[in-house]
Amino acid sequence: MRVAAFVSGRGSNMIALAEACAEAGFPADMALVFSNVPDAGGLERASSLGIATAALSHRDFGKDREAHERGIDKIMHEHEIDLICLAGYMRLLTPWFVETWRDRMINIHPSLLPAFKGLETHERVLAEGAKWHGCSVHFVRPAMDEGPIVAQAAVPVAADDDADTLAARVLTAEHQLYPHALRLVASGAVRVEGERVVAQGSTLPEIAYNPPLKE
């Protein structure tokens, strides 16, 4: 399976995915890293790993979001992409693009969905006094941070956490969860059925798997 990672910034999740893809027997190749930000750090990091990169700035398309995304879709076809992994892609995609890539596009979000959709999740978790936090990988639907959940990892909230320490703990979990979820999707171990992700065959325990935390 040929995968494209979409980044807008530093791209640490993209690196975690690329490293997994480079392992022998992993069921996906990182064929392209795409960004809407031509000078995103993630593009340079991908290039240094020998991965093809492409950029198309949304700024060149004014308010016409769909024209920008038709350009992106063309790039995906040129690189024969099968699956898109949003990895810190900071633009909401139009319903047209989301439907075009329905069940072929996944995203990582730094919360235990459906709680804490949107931005600044770590700050809001602390403000609410939640004791557990985490991250989710889900198939993308037009509404922000919604869609069938592939896998989740939970991390505890420490009494002395601030947003930075909590974000760092969640990010460590993200780097383990995203490759795990990509393996489930790319290998065909899971599929979407009735807007839920279900296991094919006997892989159910893997879906509920919480990766061991390396701090």
**Contact residues for ligand GRF, defined by CB under 6 A:** 7, 9-13, 87-88, 108-110, 171, 174
- Distance in angstroms (rounded) separating the CA atoms of residues 169 and 154: 10
**Shortest Å distance, C-beta 91 to ligand GRF:** 11
**Shortest Å distance, C-beta 201 to ligand GRF:** 29
Q: For ligand GRF, which is the closer residue by CB, 101 or 116?
A: 116
125: Cβ–Cβ under 8 A, 6 or more apart, which residues? 111, 116, 133, 157, 166
**Shortest Å distance, C-beta 14 to ligand GRF:** 6
Q: For ligand GRF, which is the closer residue by CB, 3 or 7?
A: 7
Q: For ligand GRF, which is the closer residue by CB, 30 or 108?
A: 108
Q: For ligand GRF, which is the closer residue by CB, 9 or 199?
A: 9
Q: What residues are paired with 109 via a beta bridge?
A: 136
Q: What residues are paired with 138 via a beta bridge?
A: 107, 149
Asked about 109 being catalytic, the answer comes back as: yes
Helices 12-21, 163-186: inter-axial angle, 10-degree rounding? 30
Q: Contact, 86 vs 94, CB < 8 A?
A: no
Burial of 153 per CB tally in 10 Å (0-12, 13-18, 19+): buried
- Distance in angstroms (rounded) separating the CA atoms of residues 173 and 215: 9
Q: For ligand GRF, which is the closer residue by CB, 18 or 28?
A: 18
**Shortest Å distance, C-beta 111 to ligand GRF:** 9
**Shortest Å distance, C-beta 86 to ligand GRF:** 7
109, 133, 175, 180: the active-site residue: 109
Within a 13 Å sphere around the CA of 46, how many CA atoms are in the beta-carbon half?
A: 31
106, two tokens: 């996944």
Q: Which residues are catalytic?
A: 109
